């Protein structure tokens, strides 16, 4: 059998993976006023990582991204709970949020909301759950003679 050649896939992956990461960051910051937010941003990031896994195989990408995705889940959940509990410090009810406008150097006048921190927790949790599920399914053939 002729060995399959996926040169086109690998070459485009090096370009498209970065576009996907950029788009996921855009979706993450577009949240809570427009379509977007932590959940879909996390899905987009994990889609980019899955694309890299599909193009370059398990071992190479595990060397490039040395993150145990099971650790990312509790970190994200802790950030999400922490933004809820943090409102107690200011004497507010659980999960209350606020926003303000800041003058940032490059971006100009920007709206920064505490909901963004909650979104960060959701983002990390979604990445961890999705990558754990996909990689666990992919490693399922370990004991067989693949």
Q: Are strands 99-104 and 108-113 parallel, antiparallel or unpaired?
A: antiparallel
Residue closer to other proteins by CB (options 109, 141) is 141
End-to-end CA distance of the chain: 17
Q: Which of 7, 89, 106, 146 binds other proteins (CB under 8 A)?
A: 146
Q: Is 63 in the site for other proteins (CB under 8 A)?
A: no
Q: Which of 56, 69, 118, 123 binds other proteins (CB under 8 A)?
A: 56
Q: Is 138 in the site for other proteins (CB under 8 A)?
A: yes
DSSP code per residue over the chain: -PPP--HHHHHHHHHHHHHHHHHHHHHHHTTTTSS--HHHHHHHHHHHHHHHHHHH-HHHHHHHS---HHHHHHHHHHHHHHHHHHTTTTT--TT---EEEEEETTTEEEEEETHHHHHHHHHHHHHHHHHHHHHHHHGGGSSS--
Q: Rounded CA gap, 86 and 57, in Å?
A: 41
Instruction: Of 4, 3, 9, give the one whose Cα is nearest residue 51.
Output: 9
CB of 23 to other proteins, least distance (A): 7
Part in contact with other proteins (CB under 8 A); list of ranges 56-64, 75-83, 93-101, 125-133: 56-64
Contact mark string toward other proteins, 94..133, x via CB under 8 A: ----------------------------------------
Part in contact with other proteins (CB under 8 A); list of ranges 54-62, 88-96, 109-117, 120-128: 54-62
Part in contact with other proteins (CB under 8 A); list of ranges 16-24, 73-81, 91-99, 107-115: 16-24
Q: Which residues bind other proteins (CB under 8 A)?
A: 4, 6, 9, 16, 20, 23, 27, 30, 34-36, 40, 44, 47, 50-51, 53-54, 56-60, 134-135, 138, 141, 146
């Amino acid at each position: 059998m002729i060995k399959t050649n996926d040169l086109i896939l690998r070459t485009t992956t090096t370009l498209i993976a970065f576009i996907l990461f950029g788009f996921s960051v855009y979706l993450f910051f577009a949240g809570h006023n427009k379509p977007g937010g932590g959940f879909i941003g996390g899905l987009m990031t994990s889609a980019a990582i899955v694309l890299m896994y599909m193009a370059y195989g398990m071992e190479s990408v595990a060397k490039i991204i040395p993150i145990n995705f099971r650790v990312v889940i509790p970190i994200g959940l802790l950030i999400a709970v922490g933004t809820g509990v943090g409102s107690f410090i200011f004497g507010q009810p659980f999960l209350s949020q606020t926003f303000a406008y800041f003058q940032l150097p490059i971006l100009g006048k920007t709206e920064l909301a505490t909901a963004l921190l909650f979104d960060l927790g959701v983002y990390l949790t979604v990445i961890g759950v999705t990558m754990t599920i996909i990689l666990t399914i992919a490693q399922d053939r370990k004991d067989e003679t693949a």
